Amino acid sequence: MASLKEYKQRFLEYIEIEKGRSLKTVENYDHYLTRFFDFIKTDDPQGITDESVRQFRLWLNRQLAGNDREKKNTLSKKTQNYYLIAIRAFLKYLARQEVKSLLAERIELAKTGERTLNLITELELSRLLDAPKGTDLKSVRDKAILELLFSTGLRVSELCALTSDIDLASDELSIRGKGGKVRVVFLSDTAKDCVKKYLSSRKDMDDALFVQVGKEKMDKEAHPLTKRTIERIVKQYAIKAGISKRVTPHTMRHLFATDLLSNGADIRSVQALLGHSSIITTQIYTHVTDKHLRDIHKKFHNKK
């Protein structure tokens, strides 16, 4: 029988090749499983038991969060669940390989509090989109980034992957998202105009849609913007727009979804536009957009 370490390697190759998971996901699963195996100190699949998992969960629950050691905050339930999800996926793989071990169904995820959205108001959004006011290449580029994020609901990684041969004659784009899944997103007229203006101002030949300009460039070559750089750009314009809340590219994705639902879009369509594999993920937005229920309550409740 192969060792746990060997089975882990086969599992990681399986989720990369057969399941089409991203290299980052494979890397994360490797980290979670390695930490679990180091804790239970066994190389035998049958060494994964209810008790060993229970002890690991206790240990995990008492670990200090990496960025919060001074505050002495422990790992969040959400982070702990990432470990449990990886372990369950590994156990399901072992079962398919007819390797005796703990049943994946024996592991329950920790209950987490309801996720909250830190949204900004319509007025704040308007100020944010108007924040890049200059006619220089950087301002024109940054305006295109903000408008495109709000128009499409793209993940920041998906935005970084866009190329400069984008077809602006069409109102739609085909995007390859998480797990290699392809979906269609749509561009507003404003977003298209901003991207056109930006592309017509560029002089470089780089394939990426959004590249470094001016002082951002480390050398004479244009380089694609990274996720971190785009996050920094969004943050800087939020501050410039006088927004005190934390604003990220993912905030723009939240705003895209809530805007659609608030204006009458059905949740299944929003799920497809966001590229969510499960409707459960999309349902987080529904309670934010139920403002009309208050009006209905006032209009119809306790009438005399």
Average pLDDT of the segment spanning 73-85: 90
Per-residue model confidence (pLDDT) at position 10: 96
CA distance 170 to 193: 12
CA distance 263 to 268: 14
Tally Cβ neighbours within 10 Å of residue 146: 25
Neighbouring-strand partners of residue 185: 173
Interval 200-217: pLDDT, tens: 999 888 999 999 988 777
Name, in order, each residue with C-beta under 8 angstroms of 247's C-beta and a sequence gap of 6 or more.
Answer: 120, 128, 234, 235, 238
Assign residue 32 a region: left if phi > 0, alpha if psi is -120 to 50, beta otherwise? alpha
Which homologous superfamily does the CATH classification assign to the domain defined by 122-293?
A: Intergrase catalytic core (1.10.443.10)
190 class by beta-carbon count within 10 Å (0-12 exposed, 13-18 middle, 19+ buried)? middle
Class of domain 4-106 (CATH, top level)? mainly alpha
Residue showing tokens 């723009």 = 252
User: And the tokens for 72?
Assistant: 């002495």
Interval 35-67: pLDDT, tens: 999 999 999 999 999 999 999 999 999 988 765
**Percent of the chain surpassing pLDDT 70:** 91
Are the C-beta atoms of 101 and 95 separated by less than 8 Å? yes
Which amino acid appears at position 22 of this protein? S
Q: What is the DSSP string of 72-122?
A: TPBPPHHHHHHHHHHHHHHHHHHHHTT-----GGGPPPPP-PPP------H
Ranges of CATH 1.10.443.10 domains, the chain = 122-293
Q: pLDDT category, 1, cuts 50, 70, 90?
A: confident
CA distance 3 to 94: 12
Compute the chain's Rg from CA coordinates: 23
Average pLDDT of the segment spanning 24-33: 94
**Mind telling me the catalytic residues?**
155, 178, 250, 253, 276, 285
